[in-house]
């Protein structure tokens, strides 16, 4: 019987910890390595250091069985490992280019501690051409090391990270080394086999339960979901996929502005447009725009790497511009309906960049709250999960509330800035008596207009 490879996951963020917890539950011995001792201590205690539905249960089970070994030590983990997945962050520099300092530093620590035969797998999103430079760097740091390098971009979505890792819609692997590539595919084949046998009803978290019911497991045989390709192609798949999704949202927002002027309803329009199988309905959602730890930096990273290759991408420049305009578009809606914004009391509901996560990186909701404050409004804000995380980016004059009711109490206008279920399911009819004004902006087009109107508000969506 073939023995299972020992795995190290370097970087225990959204991607790394989710992957580590799933692999450990699937029976692999997994070192979860991070430079941040606080994060490692939390993982050791059987918990995730960030909010992601269902993940705590996976982490605690993996730690209990002894399969998940959290550590800050590269010396303890890397020499024992046959495969190491690099999952460190790749934020953007102030000029929009990708900051690869963590990638290089992790590669160096791996190179210094690895034993011959190790397969280094890059899961982090890196600009096309990085893999080859990293291979040269590893060879420079450890000239005698025999290693293989595989690009394996990650496609999980925060908010359903666990489900996506169990139910991979695709596995993209790129390498010059076919044998290494097969080793990586066999790890994911084992995860796919493990995922088939999970009883999702055993998990208490409603998001994991819901998502497995709403998004059924892929019926396409696993082998047809594996895409083997060249190293550079794999690197380019990931950023191109995110760029295309960002384009779809910005396109919907452009048409939404036209719909507003022409008395059309963007949801009706996109239902018609998206029913064409060549286009598809997903991501044709008008709203406050895209944010988060991936789209903004992947799009700006693509623009900047394309520039390096001498290829202008005006289509992506336009998508960024359209996205940036959406915060002002919502502020203007509020200003117009109130006849001014100074001293107006505005309740901003939602601060995370999307529901189901406490991630506030480049959150449009936070930008909106800050912009409203800048324009003179008195702003209160509430988020079901991201209050602590939001504090750093939120203007300190924006008051944080402990609940929806506290936030909207005595406000002149309400804006739903993140489409959390909590806001959709709220009883707006009984809440209305506590609210001063009747302006209600659904900046994510996520509520039923008729219900909000029946509750006594003037409903305004985006493009409708
Ligand atoms: N978050 C997502 O939804 C998502 C989805 C697909 C791809 N990605 C990509 O995956 C990568 C990781 O993203 P993330 O959101 O998980 O990042 P993150 O910021 O949540 O986590 C990165 C982790 O790496 C650790 N780290 C930094 N330098 C290290 C080093 N030298 N050695 C060990 N650990 C180190 C940090 O302490 C942190 O815990 C990024 O390239 C991102 O673009 C993210």
Boundary residue ending a domain (173, 206, 229): 229
Longest dimension (CA), the chain: 74
Atom of ligand 1 nearest to the CA of 157: 3
Q: Residue 260: inside a domain, yes or no? A: no
Residue 427: which CATH number? 3.40.50.720
Q: Residue 276: inside a domain, yes or no? A: no
Atom of ligand 1 nearest to the CA of 10: 33
Boundary residue ending a domain (206, 229, 252): 229
Buried b (16+ CB within 10 A) or exposed e, 221-240: ebeebbebbebeebbbbbbe
Q: Residue 234: inside a domain, yes or no? A: no
Same domain, 312 and 214: no
Boundary residue ending a domain (184, 203, 229): 229
Q: Residue 285: inside a domain, yes or no? A: no
Within 10 Å of residue 34's Cβ, how many Cβ atoms?
22
Long-range contacts of 397-405 (CB under 8 A, 24+ apart): 397/373, 398/348, 398/369, 398/370, 398/373, 401/347, 404/349, 404/431, 405/431, 405/434
State the total domains in the chain. Answer: 2
Of 137, 85, 82, 81, nearest to 111 by C-alpha is 137
**Pocket lined around ligand 1, Cβ cut-off 6 Å:** 10-16, 33-36, 39, 87-90, 102, 105-106, 109, 124-125, 154, 156, 158, 293-294
Same domain, 208 and 331: no
Same domain, 177 and 29: yes
Same domain, 310 and 439: yes
Q: Residue 374: inside a domain, yes or no? A: yes
Q: Along the 464 residues of the chain, how does pLDDT read in single tens digits?
A: 578 999 999 999 999 999 999 999 999 999 999 999 999 999 999 999 998 888 999 999 999 999 999 999 999 999 999 999 999 999 999 998 999 999 999 999 999 999 999 999 999 999 999 999 999 999 999 999 999 999 999 999 988 899 899 989 999 999 999 999 999 999 999 999 999 888 777 666 656 666 666 666 778 999 999 999 999 999 999 999 999 999 999 999 999 999 999 999 999 999 999 999 999 999 999 999 999 999 999 999 999 999 999 999 999 999 999 999 999 999 999 999 999 999 999 999 999 999 988 999 999 999 999 999 999 999 999 999 999 999 999 999 999 999 999 999 999 999 999 999 999 999 999 999 999 999 999 999 999 999 999 999 999 999 99
Mutate to test the pocket of ligand 1, among 53, 88, 358 (most ligand atoms within 8 A of CB): 88
Distance CA 338, CA 354 (A): 27
Q: Residue 222: inside a domain, yes or no? A: yes
Of 29, 23, 69, 54, nearest to 191 by C-alpha is 23
Atom of ligand 1 nearest to the CA of 123: 10
Same domain, 302 and 221: no
**What is the extent of the structural domain holding 413?**
295-460
Q: Residue 241: inside a domain, yes or no? A: no
Q: Residue 158: inside a domain, yes or no? A: yes
Same domain, 307 and 224: no
Look up 407 and say whether it is catalytic: no
Same domain, 68 and 192: yes
Same domain, 331 and 209: no
């Amino acid at each position: 019987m073939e023995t299972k490879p020992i795995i190290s996951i370097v970087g225990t963020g959204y991607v790394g910890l989710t992957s580590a917890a799933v692999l450990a539950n699937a029976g692999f011995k997994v070192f979860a390595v991070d430079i941040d001792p606080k994060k490692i201590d939390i993982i050791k205690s059987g918990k995730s250091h960030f909010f992601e539905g269902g993940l705590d249960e996976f982490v605690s089970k993996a730690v209990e069985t002894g399969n998940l070994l959290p550590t800050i030590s590269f010396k303890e983990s890397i020499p024992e490992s046959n495969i190491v997945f690099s999952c460190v962050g790749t934020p953007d520099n102030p000029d929009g280019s990708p900051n690869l300092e963590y990638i290089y530093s992790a590669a160096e620590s791996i190179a210094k501690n690895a034993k011959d035969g190790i397969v280094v797998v890059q899961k982090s999103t890196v600009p096309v051409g990085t893999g080859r430079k990293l291979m040269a760097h590893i060879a420079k740091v450890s000239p005698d090391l025999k290693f293989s390098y595989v690009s394996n971009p990650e496609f999980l979505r925060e908010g359903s990270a666990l489900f996506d890792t169990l139910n991979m819609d695709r596995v993209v692997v790129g390498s010059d080394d076919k044998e290494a590539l097969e080793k990586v595919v066999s790890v994911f084949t084992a995860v796919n086999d493990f995922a088939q046998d999970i009883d999702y009803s055993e998990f208490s978290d409603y998001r994991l339960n819901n998502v497995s019911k709403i998004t059924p497991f892929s019926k396409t045989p696993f082998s047809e979901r594996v895409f083997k390709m060249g190293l550079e192609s794999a690197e380019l798949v990931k950023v191109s996929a995110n760029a295309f999704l960002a384009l779809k949202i910005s396109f919907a927002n452009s048409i939404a502005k036209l719909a507003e002027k022409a008395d059309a309803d963007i949801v009706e329009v996109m239902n018609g447009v998206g029913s064409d199988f060549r286009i598809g309905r997903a991501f044709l959602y008008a709203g406050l725009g895209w944010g988060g730890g991936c789209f903004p930096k992947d799009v700006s990273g693509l623009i900047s790497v394309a520039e390096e290759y001498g290829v202008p991408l005006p289509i992506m420049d336009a998508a960024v511009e359209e996205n940036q305009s959406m915060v002002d578009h919502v502020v203007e809606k509020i200003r117009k309906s109130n006849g001014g914004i100074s001293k107006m009391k505005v309740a901003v509901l939602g601060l995370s960049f999307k529901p189901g996560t406490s991630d506030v990186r480049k959150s449009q909701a936070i930008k909106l709250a800050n912009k409203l404050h800048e324009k003179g409004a008195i702003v209160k804000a509430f988020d079901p999960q991201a209050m602590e995380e939001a504090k750093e980016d939120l203007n300190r004059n924006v008051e944080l509330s402990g609940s929806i009711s506290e936030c909207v109490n005595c406000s002149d206008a309400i804006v739903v800035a993140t489409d959390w279920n909590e806001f959709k399911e709220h009883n707006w009819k009984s809440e209305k008596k506590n609210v001063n004004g009747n302006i209600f902006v659904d900046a994510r087009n996520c509520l039923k207009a008729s219900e909000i109107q029946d509750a006594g508000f003037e409903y305004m969506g985006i493009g409708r």
